[in-house]
Chain A
Amino acid sequence: MKYEIVIGLEVHAELKTNSKIFCGCSTHFGAEQNTNVCPVCLGLPGSLPVLNQRAVEFAIRAGLALNCEIAEFSKFDRKNYYYPDLPKDYQISQYDLPVCKNGYLDIEVNGETKRIGITRIHLEEDAGKLVHPQTITTSNYAYVDYNRTGVPLVEIVSEPDIRTPEEARAYLTKLRSILEYCDVSDCKMEEGSLRCDANISLRPAGADYFGTKAELKNMNSFKAVQKGLEYEAMRQEDVLADGGAIRQETRTWDEARGVTLSMRSKEQAHDYRYFPDPDLVPLLISREQVEEVRTSLPELPDARKDRLVEQDGLSSYDAEVITASRAVADYYDAVKKLVDDPKTIANWIMGDMMKQLNTRGLSITASPVTPVHLAEMIQLLNKGTISGKIAKNVFEEMFVSGKKPAEIVKEQGLVQISDESAIIAIVEQVIAANPQSVADFRAGKEKAIGFLVGQVMKQSKGRANPEMVNKLLKERL
């Protein structure tokens, strides 16, 4: 039988407020353990939580950016469960009246646009962090750091509209991009400020009901989400093909072994017994406030991509890559203000820049090559002062030294040779030294000219103007 995969994602994103959602403790990542804690976030008796207004504003921002309806009336509820990372034995969350609902985002997979529904976005507090001693299997205890307890989160729940692991990854990439654009979350999976759980089930292709789902956890990168879902879909298909039944359960992705494993836990533990938190009063969100937030929203990835395609003439693919990150898109815009050559700018950013940044683990905002430097280099290139090949060296040198391109070109004598007589001299030398290649070319082996061009470029230390080399060589063959 042919099966269809049905996936829904739950994404938790930490909001980048200064203080926690219900108390004034710092949200700073990486502080010494248990130093950003107070009676409220530790759940000490007699303390009262008070809602952080910026957390609410950020949730509204995220909601509007994801095309959601913003609730006029919202409230907070207690989700009850016992785990050592939860000092109060309940998490303050939202149950039936979340801040946002009924939104969507558009993804593009294999050249086709698809709309993925967003069921809801609610505000909640993060839990603490369990630290296991090195010997997790033998040790009889765990350590708890409550610094993260009470850091504001939005939980973004998608509709079960996702049909392939690849779509799941595209959804996450787009979601992260949107959250980053509206500046509400750092979205760093490695620091845990963005986390993703997935619900996945299979059903016969074309069926109008859902199969039993498994919840997948512990996927620590977008790639892991895709791989975990691919494995889980395969596993479920095998079970069903053998006439078995899928168990509704939570499974964990084991990255090292590349498999999902059942997390056996007591059934009762899933009875969260939500009820309204009497410590917190309801939240009324005025339409004026919503409009205020709406007008403060920046240009979002889709709109920005369209602008790059329609106004700058970039291909859809290039525009997608450039606008995936707001910082990269801002960099692109800054260069374009100085030199109006969109395609060349995009190529340099997507090629040499990304390569250098990735090798050094830098983000584009920390690039030693500023937009001004890149713009100047492109101008040198367009004027013919340097060749494309030399430009690659200049770029690398700019990246290492932070020097201006003109300075590097001058210091290292990299100015392109466009003087015909100088090039002719080298061309004639190369023809004389390589009779075999010359004969090959004359006998019809077109490819032989590539070798000869290469020799000329080598002799000129890459400085000869390649177009002129081609032309002058052909004239003499």
Chain B
Amino acid sequence: MAMPPARLVVLLVQSTLHGHFSSGIIIFIMVKYVLLRKVKRMKLTREDVLNVALLSRLEIRDDEIENVTRQFNDIMQHVDRLNQVNTENVRPTAHALPVCNVLRPDVRQTSLPREKAMANAPLAEDGFFRVPKIVEG
């Protein structure tokens, strides 16, 4: 069950992107989507792009879709190349860094004052975050 090097690349990309919302993350999410769904390498369509965008709650303008789809396919082609590498005897990689067991003792620490915790909340009331009604369906 060797992890394909493509997965490793994804992790590395993720590590570097973590915490930043660059346009690259759109592509990243698409790669992840396709890899994890084990989609056989067919050309990715406009529908795939829109589905990934929905899953990621990202808005892609109509005039962007074509370009994004092309970039997406380019990246998948690269991933395909990586997938050709023989990983038969390679141990699966769970993390990009050779580190294990980073743990903390079960000790309480002071939490944030509520005013601070809620300082950036777009909507708040009575110490609660306020969100739009959740509609099922």
Contact = CB atoms under 8 A, between A and B. Distances in A.
Nearest to B11: A278
Contact of A265 (B104, B118, B137): B137
A457 to B, nearest CB: 59
Interface of A: 17-19, 23-26, 32-39, 42, 45-46, 50-56, 73, 75, 80, 82-84, 89, 97, 130-131, 139-146, 263-266, 268, 271, 273-276, 278-284
A281 B97 contact: yes
A125 B108 CA distance: 16
B104 A51 contact: yes
B123 to A, nearest CB: 7
A33 B15 contact: no
Contacts of A141: 123, 130-133
A25 B109 contact: yes
A255 B105 CA distance: 41
Contact of B104 (A25, A50, A271, A279): A50
A25 B106 contact: no
B94 to A, nearest CB: 4
B132 A143 contact: no
B117 A53 contact: no
Contacts of B14: 275, 278
Contacts of A271: 33, 37, 55
A108 B60 CA distance: 57
30 contacts: A18-B106, A19-B106, A19-B109, A24-B104, A26-B111, A34-B117, A36-B111, A39-B112, A50-B103, A50-B104, A51-B102, A52-B104, A80-B55, A82-B57, A97-B94, A139-B133, A142-B130, A142-B132, A142-B134, A143-B131, A144-B129, A265-B136, A268-B51, A271-B37, A271-B55, A273-B29, A274-B36, A278-B11, A280-B102, A281-B100
B99 interface: yes
Given A140-B133, A264-B136, A282 B117 contact: no
Given A75-B95, A130-B134, A141-B123, A146 B129 contact: yes
